[in-house]
Structure 1
């Protein structure tokens, strides 16, 4: 199946650009119930996999071992922007684990959040590995490796015991054979897998509806992770980020990844949703999510209003004047 236009952008009423991609929505009977484009399109999970990657350490007991708070658990699955509240909590995590920051394989970075970056540099701050937007994930895996006595230097190697366990979790929750999980290297140095977006939707459905997870310890870990995500939504992304906006709704589990991949799931409706913007952009996520939720009849008006306010679809120039609009261009195909 071919891709489809998801978002169109107009400047002064003239079509200027279009963003194409694929959408998949699955139910708890493992059926694709809605789609746009190819519901089985294969792409790398990127950071959308972080809630799954956190499961091995959480189920092994790192929360009790290091006295992690819900905010710290949320940072383990985050793509944080290094805002002040992120940085403060990351420092607490580092102290609890007693880690050498130089042991993180993610590259030294400045904050991604613009105002935070300006403030940080003004204070003569240097790039740090702790400020990389994946540092929470790395510290979670290092905490687990340290607890188990595994080698810390090779924690990001695909053959490391924790990475093998992560692969197993993704395979089990996504219901895909490990041999069908094409491997690559993520931007932060971690192993990353290319999966059908239907597999991603299935994995997120189980995060939101953990009764679908057979193993009790894995189920408890999923419950703990998603509870922390909803308890501390700004830790997961940051101010104004789509996943953080959605996580204020206790019915939703959501996490985005680089290069246009986004996953969410609805607890009450028991639906898993994933989509891929083919040009890799994330600027359209809010509009795409709002259109998906509207088309399937999602009834939380507060969440829909929050999306509208945060992502109004206005295109502004450098002086912040409205010069155009962006709007949804897809209609979900029902497979009921």
Structure 2
């Protein structure tokens, strides 16, 4: 096992004293794979987690699935989402399942409490949830749609040797410039296969998503462009109310798309500059990830207003105890090194 050479990216202070240090790495890459800037170990191997979702949807989109089933762009965005399980998301999944002739019971993602609930926003007493509320249910519905369109087995659509998962693996290998045998494979939180690669290759894939330059032919380019456009036009479907990815997308005016993944992975594809940004926080802390991403975007010179916007809660936020007393601050200390 080779440990990555992460560096401190964020510190948490208490009464101006450093209490926590969050280590990680950042890679900023163009669509050709050139490393433009970095912090820490830009080639550290990481699992892509939910930042992989647009590329897991690519076979379905490339083969005409959205047109075949009449999916709207908002529903396409949901197929790439880690959604909050709000009514807008659950209703869309319900429509998508009906369009492909499947039911909630055909999903294999499992059930969890919707992500838009939390410690200070508990669900109403007696609430009942099913697999449509899972943050990955849109992705899984797209998986099932691909199987229905091609006549593949549906009950086993998450198996590593299923034709769908083999196609996803080959797609990711092409876009990352790695052989399929070089990729890491693991099981994600939603039970789907997940793929690991160097952080810089993940950033390159997001640059390709933003530019539509896959190098795999016009159809793949068009599919990438359509996925990016759908995600940029419907960021609330990609994440949800009060989420950082939504605030980042809104702040860009449609120029970039952000996607968070479990255990501290965060990616952004920027259309105007043709770059991809990938962040990995070693301890998986989401607050530290978001503070880092915002600091990196600022250092890249991208137009990003924070003060007085929804992003303010994630950019070096003050830390308060349960009585609301200010006790410290989360501060991004990341400094990019330019290639």
TM-score range, shorter chain: over 0.9
Alignment match, 1:37:
40
Which has the larger share of helix? 1
| 8 Å Cα contact 2:9-2:22 kept in structure 1 | yes
Alignment match, 1:103:
106
| 8 Å Cα contact 2:45-2:198 kept in structure 1 | yes
Secondary structure at the counterpart of residue 324 of structure 2? coil
Cα distance, 1:54 vs. partner?
0.4
| 8 Å Cα contact 1:82-1:116 kept in structure 2 | no
The reply to whether residue 69 of structure 1 matches residue 72 of structure 2 is: yes
- For 2:26 and 2:64, how far apart are their aligned partners in 1? 35
Alignment match, 2:188:
186
Q: String of CA shifts for 1:44-68, please: whole Å, max 9, x gaps.
A: 1110100110000011111112111
- For 2:79 and 2:324, how far apart are their aligned partners in 1? 35
| 8 Å Cα contact 1:251-1:266 kept in structure 2 | yes
Alignment match, 2:150:
148
| 8 Å Cα contact 1:81-1:238 kept in structure 2 | yes
Contiguous gaps of at least 5 residues in structure 1: none
- For 2:83 and 2:19, how far apart are their aligned partners in 1? 31
- For 1:183 and 1:308, how far apart are their aligned partners in 2? 34
Q: Among residues 161, 182, 199, which one is paired with 2:201 in the alignment?
A: 199
Alignment match, 1:319:
323
* Residue range with higher mean Cα deviation, 142-151 or 205-214: 205-214
| 8 Å Cα contact 1:23-1:273 kept in structure 2 | yes
The reply to whether residue 159 of structure 1 matches residue 161 of structure 2 is: yes
Q: Among residues 267, 292, 299, which one is paired with 1:295 in the alignment?
A: 299
Alignment of 1:269-288 (within 5 A): 269-288=273-292
* Residue range with higher mean Cα deviation, 159-168 or 247-256: 247-256
- For 2:146 and 2:123, how far apart are their aligned partners in 1? 30
Q: String of CA shifts for 1:126-165, please: whole Å, max 9, x gaps.
A: 2311111111100001011011110000100011111111
* Residue range with higher mean Cα deviation, 109-118 or 3-12: 109-118
Alignment match, 1:86:
89
The reply to whether residue 329 of structure 1 matches residue 315 of structure 2 is: no
| 8 Å Cα contact 1:83-1:116 kept in structure 2 | no
| 8 Å Cα contact 2:83-2:238 kept in structure 1 | yes
1:20–1:146 distance in 2 versus 1, CA, 3 Å: same
Secondary structure at the counterpart of residue 286 of structure 2? coil
- For 2:121 and 2:297, how far apart are their aligned partners in 1? 36
1:305–1:206 distance in 2 versus 1, CA, 3 Å: farther
| 8 Å Cα contact 1:6-1:329 kept in structure 2 | yes
- For 2:107 and 2:287, how far apart are their aligned partners in 1? 29
1:76–1:8 distance in 2 versus 1, CA, 3 Å: same
- Number of equivalent positions: 333
The reply to whether residue 53 of structure 1 matches residue 56 of structure 2 is: yes
Contiguous gaps of at least 5 residues in structure 2: none
1:116–1:80 distance in 2 versus 1, CA, 3 Å: farther
